[in-house]
Amino acid sequence: MQNSTTKSGMAPSADPLARFKEAQREGWAHFAPLEALTTPPAAELVRRASPRAGQRVLDVACGTGVVAVTAARLGARVTGLDLTPELLERARENARIAGVDIEWHQGDVEQLPFADGTYDMVLSQFGHIFAPRPDVAIAEMLRVLQPGGTIAFSTWPPELCIGRLFALIGRYLPPPPPGVVPPSLWGDPNVVRERLGDAVKNLRFDRATMRVPALSLQHNRTVMEKTAGPILKIVESLSSTDPAKLETYRREFEAIVADYFEDNFVRQDYLISRAMKI
């Protein structure tokens, strides 16, 4: 009998945390169409972080490279890292089109393949929040940042549109491994302050808005069902096992988004945190 494999061609791990990450890697493979939405927020994050020409910048969970390319266009020496090879392939193409030289790595934010103090700046846009162990992820991000360097990231507040959708999605997914916490907690300034602790100074918070075009609530939901990893998993599972439950989920999804839908846009407010490593 042949051993089963994941969609990536790898044998499934016996470790629950490793299986969780394998599912993340496969689920986010379909994210690339959303880069049109995340491109403007990438400019906002880079503007707040203010990388200078020649600085070494790491874009953690870089996805299709929108932050990395934006920083590289300013002359920064950029490295991008992501768990999902399909997104890195798109990132490489985006860098080629932009005419910028970026070093790309497939890797895990919980185990960054870089030496201590390698970078002047560490950035992440809606990416590192999906690492299952926030304490490990932030420790790694700070480890590779040199003293006096800037850490900055964009996250989704739990009380607003995407944070509320995270909570809904969590109710329909299988329970995660012990110790895995909701990604929306990264959008709470108090949680960010606690997680960064005394490793940083000059911690600042800013708010910004991503406006997502949508012709209807159903249109927005359909797009998300084709691109967002956790939602893909719900639809895939419930379509065959419990269609009625899937319809309930879809109604709840649309009810949340309705609070933020106006003039063919869904308003998605987010938090930008930035600080200096001591």
What average pLDDT does this structure show over 216-231? 97
Q: Does some domain include residue 236?
A: no
Residue 215 has pLDDT above 90, yes or no: yes
pTM of the model: 0.93
Q: Is the pLDDT of residue 5 over 80?
A: no
Residue type, 223: V
Indicate if the pLDDT at residue 160 is higher than 60: yes
Q: What pLDDT does 13 receive? A: 59
What is the mean predicted confidence (pLDDT) over 106-122? 98
> Does the structure show a pLDDT above 50 at 130?
yes
CATH number where 39 lies: 3.40.50.150
Distance CA 269, CA 160 (A): 7
88-115: average pLDDT:
98
- Residue 141 domain-assigned (yes or no): yes
Q: Could you list the residue range(s) of the whole structural domain that residue 44 is in?
A: 17-156+181-210+270-277
Model confidence band, residue 10 (pLDDT cutoffs 50, 70, 90): very low
Tell me: pLDDT of 3 over 90. Answer: no
User: Is 49 exposed, middle or buried, given 0-12, 13-18 or 19+ CB atoms closer than 10 A?
Assistant: buried
Tell me if 1 is assigned to some domain: no
- Candidates 141, 152, 3, 178; CA nearest to 71 is 152
Q: Is residue 101 part of a domain?
A: yes
Q: Could you count the other beta carbons within 10 Å of the beta carbon of residue 201? A: 11
Q: Is residue 244 part of a domain?
A: no
CA–CA distance, 69 with 46 (Å, rounded to integer): 10
What is the 3 state secondary structure string of 8-27? CCCCCCCCHHHHHHHHHHHH
Helix axes 161-172, 243-258, angle to 10 degrees: 170
How far apart CA 131 and CA 7 sit, in angstroms, is 20
The answer to whether residue 4 sits within a structural domain is no
pLDDT digits (tens, 9 = 90+) for 39-97: 999 999 999 999 999 999 999 999 999 999 999 999 999 999 999 999 999 999 999 99
Residue whose structure tokens are 């009998």: 1
Q: What are the two backbone dihedrals, phi and then psi, of residue 211, each rounded to the nearest 5 degrees?
A: -105, 115
Is residue 146 in a domain? yes
How far is 217 from 253, CA to CA, in rounded Å? 9
212-238 mean pLDDT: 97
What confidence score (pLDDT) does residue 1 get?
Answer: 30
In a domain, 26, yes or no: yes
Q: Are strands 145-155 and 265-277 parallel, antiparallel or unpaired?
A: antiparallel
Number of separate domains in the chain: 1
Task: List, as one string, the DSSP characters of 105-157.
Answer: EE-BTTB--S-TT-EEEEEEES-GGGSS-HHHHHHHHHHTEEEEEEEEEEE--
